[in-house]
Structure 1
Amino acid sequence: MSIAATGRGVRIAVIDSGIHPQHSHIEASRLLPGISVRGDGTIDAVDDATLDRLGHGTAVTAAIQEKAPEASCIPIRVFHEGLKTTGHALITAIDWAIEQGVDIVNLSLGSTNPAHAPSFAAAIERAEEKGVIVVAPRAVGGPPCYPGALEGVLAVDLDWDCPRETYRPATDGSGCFFASGYPRPIPGVALRRNIHGISFATAQMSGFVACALERLDAPIAGDSRIEAVRAALCA
């Protein structure tokens, strides 16, 4: 199934390694000011705080923008020296995004440590209360991934055979969605040689969610918003 909308008017927080606005796959005019969050929860909002020096967040944002080119993306940088952060930083980032009034939080990441689940569950409840839809991986390589495995999250899983232009809902009643794990292609680089994985299935699903939000007949707030979007995605 495909979605013809463009995500116009939808605000997406991208919690990742930041964004490089000069990258050829990035539409810089659709980026809004963001922040950097350190492992201890310290927030930094200086001019280059969200500049991506790892490439992951830029590729994730490019996948979102490909699917929802008129959505606005807000970078929240939690990855600094490598693709590793703390649960405290992620919860700080989610809460900051909620305070900004975003519509979607894209988490192309998560923790397989179940000890983090209660804190993430509380953050997801705060998001639901404000009608913020958190899109995150259901699992990473087998084990459940948090917060994606929790109630109230629009969970994503991989389907390598799913075309990049589409997605499919799970048939087990879980409310999960499957999407391709391949990012936007780079000319001359084979798909499997480019970075790929659940991060990009999640990002592409965030783009589809943005388009579904745009197409809702009437604004829906609170914790019923995610169910309205799930229904729209399955229609």
Structure 2
Amino acid sequence: MTELPWRRERREHFPGMPAWSLSTSQAALEEFHVSRQEEITKEWAYGGADGSGVRVCVLDTGVEGSHPRVGGLERSLVVARGEDGRLAVTDCEPVDPAGHGTACAGVIRSIAPGVALSSVRVLTDGKAGTGAALIEGLRWAVDEGYDLINLSLSTTRTEFQPALHELADRAYFRRCLLVASAHNMPVLSFPWTFSSVISVASHDRPDPLAYYYNPNPPAEFYARGVRVPVAWPGGREISSTGNSFAAPHITGICALILSKHRWMTPFQLKSVLYLAADNVTAVNGGTHVRV
């Protein structure tokens, strides 16, 4: 089987059965690939993988596709208001007027060089943007069926919480995993606080593949985010700090895992990410301990 079941049209409802049910008397159980989880190590999780076959979308300020550290884009798009006054996602030149999106895309490419990267510009200057543009861009990316969406941004506006929550849950059940950075300030914001996303804060080690599980969420993982060398428009490179740059490290690692274990569901992927974290190790017959 080549078509992923979760990409298909939903089956017709079986008469006499509750909604969402399966009538095994009328439809044979189909065979499909399963990603079995053996004893989890980093080598099992992503050893030898480069992200090939995985599609990643970066919702941000745009991405300079010609930057050497980005290595080209599959698509470059922007959320813009059309002549009818409605927001829509349209193709645009692969440019970044701010730099933030280019930095995030460059980190993902450095971890998983084989991924197919796309960019949707929802922010204008690296900070400002509307909640409506974020929601429109995220809805488009989820419906397009990207495997991973990097969200190195958040909103404190509670009026956008319901729509973002609905989209995060829709993404989860479509096998489209959102990786979201925690806010750089100790404030409540969204979508990183939702349980259906992978939420990321920073640690200060220089190893780009070092990451840790946080037993005290809402930030579930820590990845490199302090003094990170990142791509910047004009072919430049700068050093920057922030949870924004921790998230794409985890996005890149998730891409490696998915490229090696293509049939993994979001909850399996999050479990593997946890079990392969640098501060978690499985002890036969025992519990998980810090190493």
Residue 118 of structure 1 and its aligned partner are, at CA, apart by 1.5
Among candidates 59, 68, 77, match of residue 103 of structure 2: 59
CA contact (8 A) 2:209 2:253 kept: no
> After the TM superposition, which residues 25-36 of structure 1 pair with which residues of structure 2 at under 5 Å, given as runs?
25-28=69-72, 31-36=73-78
Conserved 8 A contact 2:53-2:116: yes
What is the identity, as a one-letter code, of the residue corresponding to 2:74? L
Q: TM-score, normalised by structure 1?
A: 0.85
- Name the counterpart of 1:203: 248
Q: How does 1:161-172 map to 2 (within 5 A)?
A: 161=205, 163-172=207-216
CA apart distance, 1:7 = 1.0
The alpha-carbon distance between structure 1 residues 139 and 160, as it changes in their structure 2 partners (threshold 3 A), is same
Question: Compared with structure 1, are the counterparts of its residues 45 and 228 closer, same or farther at alpha carbon in structure 2 (3 Å cutoff)?
Answer: same
What is the letter of the counterpart of residue 229 of structure 1?
L
Aligned to 2:17: none
Q: Give the match's secondary structure for 2:240.
A: coil
The match for 1:102 is 146
Q: Give the superposition deviation at 1:114.
A: 3.0
Deviations 1:96-137 (A, max 9, x none): 111211000100111123332212101111111211100002
Deviation, 1:52, is 0.9
Aligned to 2:266: 226
Pick closer, same or farther for the CA change 1:175–1:58 going to 2, 3 Å: closer
Q: 1:107 to 1:82 in 2, by over 3 A?
A: closer
What amino acid is the match of 1:168? Y
Q: Aligned in 2, Cα 1:173/1:76: closer, same or farther, shift over 3 Å?
A: closer
Shift of residue 215, structure 1, vs aligned partner = 2.5
- Deviation of residue 174 (structure 1)? 5.5
Secondary structure class of the residue paired with 1:163: coil
Opposite residue 267 of structure 2, the aligned amino acid is E
Question: Which 10-residue stretch deviates more, 200-209 or 133-142?
Answer: 133-142
Bigger Cα displacement from structure 2, 193-202 vs 129-138? 193-202
RCO comparison, higher one (Cα < 8 Å, 6+): 1
**Within 2, Cα distance between the matches of 1:17 and 1:38?**
13
Using the alignment, how far apart are the partners of 2:158 and 2:121 within structure 1?
A: 23
Q: Which residue of 1 aligns with 2:202?
A: 158
- Give the number of the structure whose alpha-carbon radius of gyration is greater: 2
Secondary structure at 1:13's aligned position in 2?
Answer: strand
- In structure 2, the residue matched to 1:179 is 223
User: Gaps spanning 5+ residues in structure 2: where?
Assistant: 1-40, 232-237, 277-291
Q: Report what 1:73 is aligned to.
A: 117
After TM superposition, the score normalised by the length of structure 2 is 0.69
* Aligned residue in 2 for 1:212: 257
* Distance in 1 of aligned mates of 2:217 and 2:156: 23
CA distance in 1, matches of 2:86, 2:250: 27
CA distance in 2, matches of 1:114, 1:199: 21
Structure whose residues are more often strand by fraction: 2
Distance 1:171 1:82 in 2: 31
